[in-house]
A and B are shown apart, each in its own frame.
Chain A
């Protein structure tokens, strides 16, 4: 297998090159970083629902849809990407997704550990350190190849990440920002002295070589690869590809890491519309804010209901709300504990 150590490339090439390589029937490990920022969407996402496209246009931030799974993310030169293109029949490829992730996340985990960051594998596909995600990863199958991408995050623009997302209101954006900040860490936040980028590329190459075996290094894009990437560009950079409609959502969920989500949900109960912003960690409600146009008396008890739901599992919402109703003698015509389970659970 070849090591394509390309380091800084255009933002377009940071995506097009790994889409092109399997289409040339080639395996390879690509190490690169984009020269300028952009937003990258998962294969199945709906751009108009996920991203604040008018803001991105105004700010000159391009948006790209990849063939890899996962969610929308703000990418820039402070993130060092690995992009592994490996044949499905390669003897190193184990059976099953989890086994694949476990094996091929080991090199970046070792790289983090070499920096003094206690990184570990968290199923299905996360790397965490001190319970915070430190890398984003995903997989696509293209032809007979598996494409596994991810990044070492040197620094992260949390504010811009929260800004480029389309959100129902600014309160939700603020919740997303805080949750990402609490649950995603960077090399800069974890170690006092960040090594030069050149050393980080070498570290990553060495750790992958320990798994993949010695690799011949290539530092440029050859003519055939260039031609294939250029051939793909019109499709992958078109509005038609980007704005392909995804599944209409019944709310908004931002997945921060495996097990951690910020959700905004609405539910039309007979007594009126209920809205909720919920932070969920490992199926436990960390925080919930409920609002809407329904009658709830006494009104201040709604804050108490939110407090009662915090710390409960999402499948305990109905019973918790029912107990709250029984103990607090609240009145909410046309809104029952089951309605809260719909919108919070």
Chain B
């Protein structure tokens, strides 16, 4: 799905903070969208949180830095933190270069698939409206 000139893969879920989630069985892979990396600009540090901890949907659990701004990343679903993309600690700009593939952040073992209903799909009219609004706010950054 193309919204405001930016691609949002149809098979993913999205939130208001420009994160995406891909469901693989009972595991959710989470990352930052192409739109999100564009407005974050160059990401210079990513924290690798310890795996194994239990997360709740919306709970912040890791940090990343761009523009001297340390921002917190929330879990898109509740569950156990299974895996962290450790490559990002060495090369955080992979998120800028490949946000939907190599730049994934974490994998979470989902405990409640019903929470996916709190997220948007790319073809949702609310999501389209949200992204169009965001695109207007950040038109200087997304080009």
Q: How far is A15 from B71 in the complex, measured between Cα atoms in Å?
A: 19
Chain A contact surface mostly: loop
Q: Which of B96-143 contact A (CB under 8 A)?
A: 134, 137-138, 140-141
Min C-beta distance of A46 to chain B, whole Å? 11
Q: Is the CB of B65 within 8 A of A69?
A: yes
Q: How far is A141 from B71 in the complex, measured between Cα atoms in Å?
A: 6
Chain B residue nearest to A124 in the complex (CB) = B67
| Residue B51 lies at the interface, judged by CB distance under 8 Å to chain A | no
Q: Which of B39, B47, B68, B72 contacts A96 (CB 8 A)?
A: B39
Q: How far is A141 from B67 in the complex, measured between Cα atoms in Å?
A: 13
With A43-B63, A96-B137 known as contacts, the answer to whether A247 contacts B69 (CB < 8 A) is: no
| Residue B2 lies at the interface, judged by CB distance under 8 Å to chain A | no
Most buried by A among B45, B60, B90: B45
| Residue B70 lies at the interface, judged by CB distance under 8 Å to chain A | yes
Min C-beta distance of A255 to chain B, whole Å? 9
With A69-B65, A95-B137, A98-B141 known as contacts, the answer to whether A44 contacts B39 (CB < 8 A) is: no
Interfacial chain B residues near A42, Cβ < 8 Å: 65, 68
Stretch at the interface among A132-140, A226-234, A316-324, A337-345: A132-140
Interfacial chain B residues near A99, Cβ < 8 Å: 137
Q: Is the CB of B68 within 8 A of A141?
A: no
Q: Which of B67-104 contact A (CB under 8 A)?
A: 67-72, 89-90
Q: Is the CB of A43 within 8 A of B90?
A: no
Interfacial chain B residues near A70, Cβ < 8 Å: 68
Q: Which of B60, B70, B140, B141 contacts A44 (CB 8 A)?
A: B70
| Residue B57 lies at the interface, judged by CB distance under 8 Å to chain A | no
Q: Which of B4-20 contact A (CB under 8 A)?
A: none
Min C-beta distance of B98 to chain A, whole Å? 19
| Residue A27 lies at the interface, judged by CB distance under 8 Å to chain B | no
Interfacial chain B residues near A98, Cβ < 8 Å: 67, 140-141
Interfacial chain A residues near B60, Cβ < 8 Å: 141
Interfacial chain B residues near A139, Cβ < 8 Å: 68-70
Q: How far is A199 from B39 in the complex, measured between Cα atoms in Å?
A: 38
Q: How large is the interface on A (under 10, 10 to 19, 20 to 34, 35 or more residues)?
A: 20 to 34
Q: How large is the interface on B (under 10, 10 to 19, 20 to 34, 35 or more residues)?
A: 20 to 34
| Residue A67 lies at the interface, judged by CB distance under 8 Å to chain B | yes
Q: Which of A108-161 contact B (CB under 8 A)?
A: 124-125, 137-141
Min C-beta distance of B67 to chain A, whole Å? 4
| Residue A103 lies at the interface, judged by CB distance under 8 Å to chain B | no
Q: How far is A156 from B70 in the complex, measured between Cα atoms in Å?
A: 26
Interfacial chain A residues near B66, Cβ < 8 Å: 97
Q: Is the CB of A125 within 8 A of B70?
A: no
Min C-beta distance of A137 to chain B, whole Å? 7
Q: How far is A138 from B45 in the complex, measured between Cα atoms in Å?
A: 14
| Residue A262 lies at the interface, judged by CB distance under 8 Å to chain B | no
Q: Is the CB of B89 within 8 A of A247?
A: yes
Chain B residue nearest to A149 in the complex (CB) = B68
Interfacial chain B residues near A137, Cβ < 8 Å: 68
| Residue A84 lies at the interface, judged by CB distance under 8 Å to chain B | no
Q: How far is A335 from B43 in the complex, measured between Cα atoms in Å?
A: 32
| Residue A276 lies at the interface, judged by CB distance under 8 Å to chain B | no
Q: Is the CB of B70 within 8 A of A69?
A: yes
Q: Is the CB of A125 within 8 A of B67?
A: yes
Chain A residue nearest to B44 in the complex (CB) = A44
> Which 3 A/B pairs are nearest by Cβ-Cβ distance?
A44-B45, A70-B68, A124-B67
List 9 extra interface pairs beyond A96-B137, A125-B68, CB under 8 A: A43-B45, A44-B47, A68-B70, A96-B141, A97-B67, A124-B41, A125-B69, A139-B70, A141-B70
16 example contacts (A-B, Cβ-Cβ < 8 A) are as follows A43-B45, A43-B65, A44-B44, A68-B70, A69-B45, A95-B134, A96-B39, A97-B66, A98-B141, A124-B41, A124-B67, A125-B68, A138-B69, A140-B70, A141-B60, A247-B89
